[in-house]
Homo-oligomer: A and B are copies of this chain.
Amino acid sequence: MHKRYTVQDIAKRAGVTAATVSMALNNKQGVSAETKQRIVRIANELGYIPNISARALVQQRTYTLGLFIPSSPSAFLDSYFSNILRGITEVATKAGYLVSIVYEDSVHEHLTYRVDGLILTELKGRDPYVDLFRKFKIPFVSMGKVNDTLPSVDIDTQGGIMQAVKYLVSLGHRKIGFIAGPPKYHYVVNRYRSFKKALHAHGLPLEADWMSVAPNSRAGGRQAVVRLLKRVRGAPTAFLVCTDLMTVGVIDGLKDLGLDVPHDVSVIGFDDAPYAELVQPPLTTIRQDVYLSGKYAARMLIDTLEGKQSTVSVTLPVRLVRRKSTSTANDSKIYT
């Protein structure tokens, strides 16, 4: 690249000093309109770009946001991170921030001097990192609520699951089971709790037997539903499943047992992953807009970094997408 101009270069040409240039370019008060105009013009002509490192050094800030990702993210298979990253990066860029990836393994190296704040994903129940970040006083926003005091971007899990259960009830289902992922994750227990509330709201029974836990994977879903149906009599005619990924496995498992989706059993997933409409049958699922979540998270984090008043938490809407994995209740087959 040709030459990298500095405030000095601009100062010289504008017949002022570097300090004035700095003030002018940063819209500080105390610079006359004319000189400011002149300085800005010269800066543009020269294609001046400030040296972030120098600014960072004096201001003790890096102007970069970190996206914190657990080492073995369970959501890696789908496009969760692509989307969240796009949302974050879009608003961060506009605000002059860079977005960096921080993996669990390397938190310590990056904690100091590399990022001004973090956006946290896939938090676990008692997450040691939350404590670490608080101790280090590094600002963060969590994707998914941790507790009521910590800043977070959450989705309306409750509302989404309420829609799903309501829809199942409208199809005649009264016995609804739940297939859960690992309960160490916040989002998993949130989804389960919401499920319980939704059942209650509809006056439906909650049978402990109708719940099954497994890893968040296709194999997990399969295994969970097979185990459940083998041990239970008077089984559910419908299942709410923790994630779309597990839902695919649940459909496998049902098929193993000679049960057809949606003819014999209805299933509803969560997330609306890209493959949700690709699989057979296309999944009825609760869609969340991860891209939008990313934008909110970045906005909130940047606001707090810049000392602006920021909402401590937002809850974004979700909506039920009706596809082919659900139909009217049909007890005949299950009861044999």
Chain A residues in the interface with B (C-beta under 8 A)? 1, 4, 49-54, 56-57, 62, 64, 76-83, 85-86, 89-90, 93, 96, 98-101, 103, 105-106, 109-114, 135-138, 218, 248, 274-275, 278-280
Q: Would you mind naming 15 contact pairs between A and B with Cβ atoms under 8 Å apart? A: A4-B112, A49-B112, A51-B113, A53-B62, A53-B113, A64-B100, A77-B79, A81-B85, A93-B103, A93-B105, A93-B109, A98-B101, A99-B101, A100-B100, A279-B279
Taking a contact as CB atoms under 8 Å apart, the answer to whether B85 and A76 are in contact is no
Question: Bound complex: CA of A54 vs CA of B82, how far in Å?
Answer: 32
**Contact partners of A50 in chain B: CB under 8 A:** 113
Question: Bound complex: CA of A136 vs CA of B275, how far in Å?
Answer: 40
Asked whether A274 and B77 contact (CB < 8 A) given A96-B109, A101-B89, A106-B93, the answer is yes
20 other contacts beyond A52-B113, A78-B274, A90-B103, with CB at 8 A cut-off?
A: A1-B112, A1-B138, A49-B109, A52-B62, A53-B57, A53-B62, A57-B57, A78-B79, A79-B82, A81-B81, A81-B85, A89-B103, A93-B105, A93-B110, A100-B100, A218-B278, A274-B275, A275-B275, A275-B279, A279-B279
**Contact partners of A85 in chain B: CB under 8 A:** 81, 101
Question: Bound complex: CA of A274 vs CA of B244, how far in Å?
Answer: 13
Question: Bound complex: CA of A135 vs CA of B1, how far in Å?
Answer: 6
Asked whether A136 and B1 contact (CB < 8 A) given A79-B76, A90-B103, the answer is yes
Taking a contact as CB atoms under 8 Å apart, the answer to whether B98 and A99 are in contact is no
A63 to B, closest residue via Cβ: B114
Asked whether A82 and B93 contact (CB < 8 A) given A50-B113, A53-B53, A100-B100, the answer is no
Taking a contact as CB atoms under 8 Å apart, the answer to whether A98 and B82 are in contact is no
**Contact partners of A138 in chain B: CB under 8 A:** 1
Question: Bound complex: CA of A114 vs CA of B279, how far in Å?
Answer: 42
**Contact partners of A106 in chain B: CB under 8 A:** 89, 93
A278 → chain B, closest Cβ, in Å?
5
Asked whether A54 and B52 contact (CB < 8 A) given A275-B278, A279-B275, the answer is no
Question: Bound complex: CA of A274 vs CA of B248, how far in Å?
Answer: 12
Query: Which of A76, A77, A96, A137 lies at the interface centre, i.e. has the most chain B CB atoms within 10 A of its CB?
Result: A77
Query: Which of A80, A101, A110, A111 lies at the interface centre, i.e. has the most chain B CB atoms within 10 A of its CB?
Result: A101
A58 to B, closest residue via Cβ: B53
**Contact partners of A109 in chain B: CB under 8 A:** 49, 93, 96
